[in-house]
Amino acid sequence: MKLAGTASLPAPPAEVWSLLTDPSRLSRLLPGCERLEPDGPERYKATVKFGIAAISGKYAGTLEFAHKKPPNSLILKIDGKGLPGFVKGEGRLELRAKAGDTEIAYNGEAQVGGLIASVGQRMLDAAARKIVHQFFEAAKAELASGKGAASEPSSLGQSHARGK
């Protein structure tokens, strides 16, 4: 599965960079992140509860930074497993200053396997886009509120629709 696009964040690249590479703040951006703790240089262990509406699952895995070129580009690697399946992905983020804001170009690939791959095909693309969208929305909120953001991990907002 390939994911590519751009997002605009209301802060200069240096600030965005520090947000993305600070695990205590990053954990608030990852949708459903319950835990993010160091596991080696540039590596973190994470547990994430992610879902859309009725479909949700818990995943445990690692998050890794690579090829950091502050404040302009980095590669983010994720490797997570849960009962619904596994996800392994790698994405490059490129930050560019744009009139006081930052334009982020992201380009990545993810491999998905297990249950969600065998029965969830038609929703995978949209689910991935949703995760990315939520990530950047959370980033915007975090940047807007500065360092005094709520300490609770972000949840899924309105996606509590009832499955019937």
Tokens 């879902």 found at: 51
Position among 53, 66, 144, 150 found at the interface with other proteins (CB under 8 A): 53
What is the chain's Cα-based Rg? 15
- Contact in structure between 96 and 105 (CB atoms under 8 Å): yes
Closer residue to other proteins in complex, CB, 52/149:
52
Position among 120, 137, 140, 149 found at the interface with other proteins (CB under 8 A): 120
Closer residue to other proteins in complex, CB, 6/118:
118
Position among 69, 129, 144, 145 found at the interface with other proteins (CB under 8 A): 129
Cis check: omega of the bond before 71, within 30 degrees of 0: yes
Position among 19, 127, 132, 138 found at the interface with other proteins (CB under 8 A): 127
4 touches other proteins by CB under 8 A:
no
Distance, CA of 161 to CA of 163 (rounded, Å): 6
SS3 (DSSP) at 85:
strand
Kindly state the tokens that stand for 6: 């751009």
Residues that bind other proteins (CB under 8 A): 52-57, 83-86, 88, 111-127, 129-130, 158-164
